[in-house]
A = this chain, B = another copy of it.
Amino acid sequence: VTTTDSERSALAVDIGGTKFAAGVVDPRGRVLAAERVRTPPDGDAEELFAALVSAVQGALSAAGLTFGDAALAPAIGVGTAAPMDLTAGTVSPVNIFGWRGFPLRDRLSDRFGVPVGLIGDAVAVAVAEHWLGAARGHANVLGMVVSTGVGGGLVLGGRVMPGATGNAGHIGHASVDPNGPGCVCGGIGCLEAIASGTSLAAWARGQGLADAVDAAAVARSAREGDPIALAAFRRAADALGLAIAGAVTTLDLELVVIGGGVAQAGAVLFDPLAQAYARYAALGFARAPRVVPARLAASAGLIGAAAVVHRPDAYWPGWEWDASGPAR
């Protein structure tokens, strides 16, 4: 049996503040095997990298593949928590303190002997939802991840819009309130400081909801009618509505897709979000777009990272792969 390029699978990596995932993804975007490990919470740079390598090895082992096999493309696609420097191939994720300017692209490439293509984790989600999920057929889309942090990625005119340094999509660190709380990034009133799962749960605890250990716990309380939990989601939804309305108005988007743990709260989040969006998006062209949940759930990050290997011409038409991965 001959394996052609269009039949080869891709090794994809999804680096988040809570977990590292690696997976083998076929050309149609199906995740054939995956391995997830907890992000070492206080790990230094090498401990973090060792955890990542073990996730990659676990995924390859689960799929029964190694680099060099004809059935596996000789490349790795990576979606990483941000920010990062696309030119240098380094990452400095806000929520992964042990990596500051960490040369992730070169380290992974050296370790596995294949080129590595690096994109933001929320860009990966946006691409995955555009390729195979809720945003199929829409040319101008914001994809967001609302979980530990708040991230985003932009597909404009059908392609990924990387921005000057690969960091386009960072809507989580746009301010939504000049009188809002300080943010871990150093900003004031950032969307993430109000609407991330971390911020949402902390606010609920501060209001007296003692068992608000995380956003999922707050969502359970909200569905049971707890007024503090409902207020916590309304506060996050107001901030999301303002920020999303601003992005749609500024970019003339067709659709906004929200994934991540907080989005899994469902109507508790999306109902007040639709109301807030309608208050802030008043111009005609901005009223039409919809804000919808992601469809690909926890696999979106891996599927989008695999698109770096499977669909580079569609999403990154200016990129050219060299020995160390795609570079503009």
Contact = CB atoms under 8 A, between A and B. Distances in A.
Interface of A: 83, 85, 92, 94, 139-140, 152, 154, 156-157, 161-171, 173-179, 183, 185-188, 238-239, 242-243, 245-247, 249-254, 279-286, 318
A250 B285 contact: no
A175 B252 contact: no
B152 A250 contact: yes
Most buried by B among A139, A165, A178: A178
A246 B177 CA distance: 11
Given A157-B162, A187-B279, A251-B251, 14 more contacts: A156-B163, A157-B318, A165-B285, A167-B286, A168-B251, A170-B252, A173-B249, A173-B283, A174-B246, A175-B245, A177-B179, A185-B282, A188-B279, A188-B280
A280 to B, nearest CB: 5
Contacts of A253: 163-164
A163 B140 contact: yes
A173 B242 CA distance: 11
A156 B140 CA distance: 14
Nearest to A84: B285
26 contacts: A83-B283, A92-B284, A154-B250, A157-B318, A162-B252, A164-B252, A164-B253, A165-B285, A166-B252, A167-B252, A167-B285, A169-B250, A170-B249, A170-B250, A170-B283, A171-B250, A173-B249, A173-B286, A174-B245, A178-B238, A178-B242, A185-B283, A186-B282, A187-B279, A188-B280, A246-B246
A253 B156 CA distance: 15
Copies of the protein in its oligomer: 2
A167 B282 CA distance: 13
Q: Is the interface of A mostly helix, strand, loop or mixed?
A: loop
Contacts of A286: 167, 170, 173
Contact of A178 (B94, B177, B187): B177
A183 B251 contact: no
Contact of A163 (B169, B171, B239, B252): B252
A140 B86 CA distance: 15
A151 to B, nearest CB: 11
Contacts of A183: 282
Given A152-B250, A162-B252, A251-B161, A280 B175 contact: yes
A303 to B, nearest CB: 23
Nearest to A242: B175
